[in-house]
Structure 1
Amino acid sequence: MSNTFELERTRFARNFANYKDKKIVLYGIGRRTATLTEQTMGFHFVGLMDRDQANIGKKMYGLPIFSLKEAEENADMIIINAPVTYWNVIYGRIKNSKIPVFFTNGKRAEIKNDIYDKNNPYWDKSLENFEETLFKYDVITFDMFDTLIVRKVLRPEDVFEIIREKIDEQNIQFPYDYVAVRNQALNNMEDLCYSFDELYWKIQEITGISDEAIVRIKEIELNVEKSLIAPRKVVIDICNKMIKSGKDIYVISDMYFPAYILHKFLFQAGLVIDVKKIIVSSEKGCSKRQGRIWKYFSENILCGRNAIHVGDDIEGDIRMPARFGINTYYIMSVTQMLCNSSIKELYNMVTNIKESLLVGAVVSQLFHNPFALCASRGKVRFFSEQMWGYCIWGPVIFSFVQWLAEQSKIYKISRFVFFARDGYLIQKDYDYYCTLLKNNLPKSDYLYVSRRIAYIAAITDEKSFKEWLEFPYIGKFGDFMESRFSVAISPDNEFFDFQIQMPNDKNKILMWLQPYKENIKDEIAKEREDYIRYLRGKQLEDSFAIVDIGYNGNTQRKLGNILKKTIIGFYFYNDLSAENECNKQNKLIPCFQSSTDLMAEKSFLFKYPLLLESMFTAPYGVIVKVDKCGHKVCSKKEKNQEYFTQRLFINEGIQKFIKDIMNLFNKCGIKNSLGEELFVDYMFGVIFGNSALISEIEDYFYWDDIIVQKRENKIFS
């Protein structure tokens, strides 16, 4: 039995050590349950449960399959023995159970309540209502920052952190903490409607730095602002539509930048407006929040015409203009949308500028439409493959490939060999990253390998043969022989259709395969010889490393045995515990896992292994073997391959994120986001765990493993 499954039993025994006197029903009839029931470890398993009602009354692994009522009558507890992906779905079916229900992590099952307000009256708004309302007015005014345009950082003050970094980068003689000096200058300003020039005069007065340094820092600030600006495209489009319809449009902003600079920012965002129609507090000497700018606007520009103002600030954009007879329309800023959404937890996670840029890039995409959350009452919902790729997987893959590049320097890696099929798309993303970076990074390669290939090619004695023979399997004996050993037996064989459960039935199977022992031996020898020839052709030098998703490193271990060398492997996550034999023979290095979290139990990505395998696959079936010419021989394509084009769309979103964030980092003088891998893992957990996909996209993802069982299950079921 593979030590992968020994570890599953060990963890189960640890998590439920206090329940050995209880009668337990396991929910799940797949490979995981086969692993637990082979050796009961002192637990009293009395039955199983399955979602398929047709299975009730049947037996598997020597245990009856119960209905919920029967489980309540015959057991003390139910344990959902399934991947984390399915926990909430399964618990939703049996949440009214009269006996306790547990997840396999040992915790009592529960469905957490939503942390956002579904009854927020803002959710009653819509884009259609917004447009329809604006058309009723002759004059329409818009706030600028957070209404028409956004900055790709989570908080406005993060801009000043970036300016500080750029000052240091450009070696400007400024021996002060820029952020602290700027705040001191603001506190010393006598007029709240200060200008850009006045602010820097005050900074110069405090520090005594040269005119040249002031000019350069002002230039840095303008360039940083320009690099961070993104349009709220929906609002920009509506504004342009109103201009074309003949409405009189103004932009009113409480800002220290002069109108001509704001004009450039708006042009960059896709809005062309006469600079004279940009009204700025610093130029008028009065602000929105104080109300005086609205008095000026009402008396000098409106002249009795009906008007409406659009903005995100309750005081300056809503209450104050209303006092002067100007109607208002409140729209949430990107930050306000985040803080009222199902992923609101993100806001308080951010602790530095790198994290702010990572989150800012995502939320500026998610919430550029101020009505994006309305139909779902605050729940983040993805309607396109590209957007899901950008927001969910983009930060993960970007962090991973730049981490790989950094690891190559530490371990002197000359070539990254990406394992099939998990590495198919990730290799393309690594190559894309390398192209954008234009640095001399290790070249990438792709290795035809699978669990089946690695185990077969590593068979050299009876022990390694039995390890592969006893690898879990559920299904017909005839299918087992074909998938496990590429030996076809006649359907007339008396055992062909017999249902087997490995490793429970290992003794029986050893007897049944006796007539085919020579065929099996010959096939193993041939496949092993062909694969070793293929590996020799790859010329895997000592300085190569493999790349895969995770977890135990069994395929890496087997490859090491075949090549007779120690291999370094880079992964999303790993089992680094002392019990993992793979950890002793080779070096496993995980990206999204803390040094103290040996079994990746705190990794959010590790909670969704089936989703990762389904997402990061290849356009062909499982690679069964490699022929004598070095060509892959694959099983038939499954549902994941049928929907592979959709994965390419998702990967377009991933690569767009990689490009956007690299450009953003470069313009802001930030070299990379190294050191933020655990933050990105948590970011993934928050966004994925608290968002939803439209059912059409959910239908693209399946779990399949022909080595274990000849069936496919939906990931989102």
Structure 2
Amino acid sequence: MLDILEILDKYNNKPIALYGLGTETERFLSQLGNGISIVGLLDGFKEDGEIYGYPIIPIMETVAKGVSLIIVVARPGSCKAIAKRIGAFCTQNGIALFDVRGKDLLEASNVSFDFENVKGESRQKLCDMIEIAQVVSFDIFDTLVTRKVISYTDIFELMDIRLRDIGIIIPDFPRLRLYSEKKLSQMSAPKLTDIYKFVLKKSGGNFISADELASMEWELDLSTMMAREDVCEIFRKTIADEKKVVITTDSYYTLSQIKTIFDRLGLDKPDEIFVSCEYKTSKMQTLFDILRDRYCGKRLLHVGDDEIADIEKASGYGFDTYRIYSGADLYDSLGGLGLENEIRTLSDRIKAGMFISNIFNSPFWFEEDARRLFINASTQVGYLFCGPMITDFVLWMKQKAKEQGYGQILFCARDGYLPGKLYRNASPDTKSVYFLSSRMTAIRAGMQDNKDIEYVDSMKYFGTPEESLKMRFGISAKDISKIERQKEILLKAGIQREKYKKYIEKLDIQDAQIGIFDFVAKGTTQMYLQKLFRQHMKGFYFLQLEPEFMVDKGLDIEPFYSDEEKNVSAIFDNYYILETMLTSPYSQMEEFDENGDPVFADETRSEKDIKVLDQAQAGITDYFEEYMRLTPESVRIENKMLDEKLMALINQIQIKDEDFMALQIEDPFFGRMTAIADVIG
């Protein structure tokens, strides 16, 4: 990365534009504005007028003015968003785009899975600095608290949707909301109500007050917040050690609201809270003056995430400083883990925000030399890698069933255990039935002639013929002839059909078409179950294997992944892992007894295995519920490419849960056992 002075020297005497109208731009102009050819200032909202002695121009005008360089004068997180907004335009018109720190915003970031090239301090270093400090000041946002969105500006888009849902339409609301905050922050540090008074003034008012708007945004924003536990642990310990602890933060939330955040997240109250909107001044203005004067002569340590406002500015007052990397900073330092090109919609940004706030919740990645990205628990495996794909699949299935009039769905054991629970959450009006079945159960009841037997035998079994006969058909026999074998299978099938029907009669299934869930399958289970039902049965699958072999079977199947999609996707590399994550903690179904009650196989998994799967499923459930809570229904857009990228990270990010890595993937129908460690990697 070049120094900004080197960049300015390189473009000496060439037309330059600055992007940003905030106080950072005013500061840049006062320090570096002389001697460079600035033809105008750019902004995401305002395109005319004048500020700081320069005209505000629209982005399109930079071409006519011959601009060869745009410098984005903003904080790192904002620079990234601005680069997304105007990067394609700059590339198309040959305009260089750098941030104020000298980073080329058009340069593709290298994806990495370790922090070897990131300069950061350890947890112990922070503890040592706290030990010698007399007063410790903590920032809040992105330090003690993070949000489950990529940027706080995503809250504005969520606000816009909520307002539209109640009939309040403020044109171009997200941009106007951000502009209003920036405009008022040039002179002072506004409260949220002040910002919304300005919004209403600029938009001509609406059927809602500034107080109501501020309250709505506050509640929405609060619902996205979560504690950064490792930092909060140090914060709590510092208070417990009776060290003087204060909060110094830039925020449009009032002192009372800041205290509510602490209550909601279970944080102890500090000795004092210096919040910018209460003092009408920010850290970049005079908030640190107030802090210094309050603790004059004391050795003061400030802990925060912003390298300018929290580190550079605080250092200028003689404070010791410790930088906490935000989740977004850590994510960016690893090149966005290769996800950036797939993040397009608000739904995607919420998914990515949930991922970032979880895996980068702790900033302390600088303890060991390797500094490799890792996770500790199977709960995270479910949440981070499996949750996004399973969520999109369940919501797809809900939509398809609704469109096609399927009001009752059978979720076949055992793969239907977790998807069925999630589906009931998403579609409570649908009759969702956890249907005791398995490929073996359906086959044992579905054999009607020798062609059926030949079809099953065509699927290779990794074991002896006797083992296959026992496992697939439930018949124990040695040295049995082919004819006797066929007779035994068909005789047992007839008996099992009647027993299976007794079970089905207990389920109160309506005399209407039935949807049936299977995760990854050819359609064998559905084919034989259809023989037990009068109603039409449609399969909603995650993935259908070898559909060409089932075209003559008369099955109605619609997979989440079409044949064309699966052939060009990476889903085949990882669906085995998903399938393992979904399975029930209960034993495999084999057949039914005389009363239509289930007969289960002996459990082959250990209690430890089942506990690990329970934890992984808890992670998937947490993800699903959070996504449903955070994402309005109108913007829930499936993105399989992003889901695949997130899932593929399971092969790159180290999993330190030894119990999870010791799992075996069972497939009793084929007689196979595969170590999950052999699938991951």
TM-score normalised to structure 2 length: 0.75
Secondary structure of the residue that 1:639 maps to in structure 2? coil
CA distance in 2, matches of 1:114, 1:180: 31
Q: Is the 8 A contact 1:405 1:442 kept in 2?
A: no
Residues 378 and 339 (structure 1), Cα distance of their counterparts in 2 relative to 1, 3 Å cut: farther
Q: Is the 8 A contact 1:373 1:379 kept in 2?
A: no
Aligned to 1:531: 500
Superposition deviation, residue 402 in structure 1:
3.7
CA distance in 1, matches of 2:638, 2:565: 20
Residues 467 and 513 (structure 1), Cα distance of their counterparts in 2 relative to 1, 3 Å cut: same
2:353 is aligned with 1:383: no
CA distance in 2, matches of 1:466, 1:373: 60
CA distance in 2, matches of 1:194, 1:306: 27
Aligned to 2:556: 587
The range that moved more, 540-549 or 638-647, is 638-647
Give the residue type in structure 2 aligned to 1:157: T
User: Counterparts of 1:682-701 in structure 2 under 5 Å?
Assistant: 682=644, 684-701=646-663
Superposition deviation, residue 154 in structure 1:
0.9
2:171 is aligned with 1:176: yes
Q: Is the 8 A contact 1:420 1:450 kept in 2?
A: yes
1:119 paired residue among 116, 133, 140: 116
Aligned to 2:520: 550
2:135 paired residue among 125, 139, 146: 139
Superposition deviation, residue 565 in structure 1:
5.6
Q: Is the 8 A contact 1:566 1:586 kept in 2?
A: no
Secondary structure of the residue that 1:549 maps to in structure 2? strand
Residues 416 and 551 (structure 1), Cα distance of their counterparts in 2 relative to 1, 3 Å cut: same
User: Counterparts of 1:364-375 in structure 2 under 5 Å?
Assistant: 364-371=357-364, 375=368
5+ residue gaps, structure 2? 1-109
Could you report, residue by residue, the CA deviation over 1:418-449 in whole angstroms, capped at 9, with x for unpaired residues?
11221123323434x16xxxx75112212232
Give the residue type in structure 2 aligned to 1:646: V
Superposition deviation, residue 188 in structure 1:
4.6
Aligned to 1:627: 593
2:448 is aligned with 1:448: no
Secondary structure of the residue that 1:441 maps to in structure 2? coil
Q: Is the 8 A contact 1:575 1:598 kept in 2?
A: no
CA distance in 2, matches of 1:581, 1:544: 20
Q: Is the 8 A contact 1:312 1:332 kept in 2?
A: yes
Aligned to 2:643: 681
5+ residue gaps, structure 1? 1-112, 494-510
TM-score normalised to structure 1 length: 0.71
Aligned to 1:470: 458
2:373 is aligned with 1:411: no
Aligned to 2:579: 613
Residues 695 and 242 (structure 1), Cα distance of their counterparts in 2 relative to 1, 3 Å cut: closer
Could you report, residue by residue, the CA deviation over 1:88-117 in whole angstroms, capped at 9, with x for unpaired residues?
xxxxxxxxxxxxxxxxxxxxxxxxx96344
Aligned to 1:98: none
2:204 is aligned with 1:243: no
Could you report, residue by residue, the CA deviation over 1:440-495 in whole angstroms, capped at 9, with x for unpaired residues?
511221223222333343332332222223321232233233224433235xx5xx
User: Counterparts of 1:631-646 in structure 2 under 5 Å?
Assistant: 631-639=597-605, 643-646=609-612
Could you report, residue by residue, the CA deviation over 1:669-705 in whole angstroms, capped at 9, with x for unpaired residues?
x236643252663354244343232252334521233
CA distance in 2, matches of 1:457, 1:661: 40
Aligned to 2:627: 661
Residues 386 and 526 (structure 1), Cα distance of their counterparts in 2 relative to 1, 3 Å cut: same
Residues 171 and 535 (structure 1), Cα distance of their counterparts in 2 relative to 1, 3 Å cut: closer
Superposition deviation, residue 583 in structure 1:
8.3
The range that moved more, 677-686 or 452-461, is 677-686
Aligned to 2:674: 713
Give the residue type in structure 2 aligned to 1:555: T
Residues 651 and 186 (structure 1), Cα distance of their counterparts in 2 relative to 1, 3 Å cut: closer
Q: Is the 8 A contact 1:418 1:445 kept in 2?
A: yes
CA distance in 1, matches of 2:522, 2:565: 9
Superposition deviation, residue 575 in structure 1:
4.9
CA distance in 1, matches of 2:508, 2:266: 53
Q: Is the 8 A contact 1:545 1:570 kept in 2?
A: yes
CA distance in 2, matches of 1:642, 1:216: 51
Superposition deviation, residue 190 in structure 1:
7.8
CA distance in 1, matches of 2:447, 2:143: 65
2:491 paired residue among 498, 514, 522: 522
CA distance in 1, matches of 2:623, 2:494: 46
CA distance in 1, matches of 2:524, 2:162: 46
Could you report, residue by residue, the CA deviation over 1:53-80 in whole angstroms, capped at 9, with x for unpaired residues?
xxxxxxxxxxxxxxxxxxxxxxxxxxxx
Superposition deviation, residue 248 in structure 1:
1.8
Q: Is the 8 A contact 1:423 1:617 kept in 2?
A: yes
Aligned to 2:146: 150
2:314 is aligned with 1:321: yes
Residues 119 and 642 (structure 1), Cα distance of their counterparts in 2 relative to 1, 3 Å cut: closer
Aligned to 1:647: 613
CA distance in 2, matches of 1:180, 1:515: 77
Q: Is the 8 A contact 1:343 1:686 kept in 2?
A: no
CA distance in 1, matches of 2:600, 2:129: 59
Give the residue type in structure 2 aligned to 1:229: M
Aligned to 2:250: 254
CA distance in 1, matches of 2:434, 2:259: 50
Superposition deviation, residue 543 in structure 1:
2.3
CA distance in 1, matches of 2:111, 2:189: 43
Q: Is the 8 A contact 2:118 2:333 kept in 1?
A: no
Aligned to 2:36: none
Aligned to 2:564: 598
Q: CA RMSD in A?
A: 3.3
2:194 is aligned with 1:215: no
Superposition deviation, residue 319 in structure 1:
1.8
Could you report, residue by residue, the CA deviation over 1:213-271 in whole angstroms, capped at 9, with x for unpaired residues?
33322222222222222222222232222122222222222333344433333333333
CA distance in 1, matches of 2:436, 2:226: 42
Q: Is the 8 A contact 2:384 2:647 kept in 1?
A: no
Secondary structure of the residue that 1:115 maps to in structure 2? coil
The range that moved more, 142-151 or 638-647, is 638-647
1:288 paired residue among 283, 291, 295: 283
User: Counterparts of 1:492-507 in structure 2 under 5 Å?
Assistant: none
Aligned to 1:84: none
Residues 364 and 376 (structure 1), Cα distance of their counterparts in 2 relative to 1, 3 Å cut: farther
CA distance in 2, matches of 1:211, 1:114: 47
Q: Percent identity?
A: 24
Give the residue type in structure 1 aligned to 2:448: T
2:262 paired residue among 266, 282, 289: 266
Superposition deviation, residue 377 in structure 1:
4.7
Residues 677 and 547 (structure 1), Cα distance of their counterparts in 2 relative to 1, 3 Å cut: farther
Q: Is the 8 A contact 2:379 2:617 kept in 1?
A: yes
Give the residue type in structure 2 aligned to 1:483: M
Q: Is the 8 A contact 2:111 2:336 kept in 1?
A: no
Residues 607 and 359 (structure 1), Cα distance of their counterparts in 2 relative to 1, 3 Å cut: same
Q: Is the 8 A contact 2:115 2:365 kept in 1?
A: no
Q: Is the 8 A contact 2:111 2:338 kept in 1?
A: no
Secondary structure of the residue that 2:463 maps to in structure 1? strand
Q: Is the 8 A contact 1:342 1:690 kept in 2?
A: no
Secondary structure of the residue that 1:600 maps to in structure 2? helix
Give the residue type in structure 2 aligned to 1:715: I
Could you report, residue by residue, the CA deviation over 1:145-181 in whole angstroms, capped at 9, with x for unpaired residues?
1111122211121111122222222333x54221232
Residues 489 and 584 (structure 1), Cα distance of their counterparts in 2 relative to 1, 3 Å cut: closer
Secondary structure of the residue that 1:572 maps to in structure 2? strand
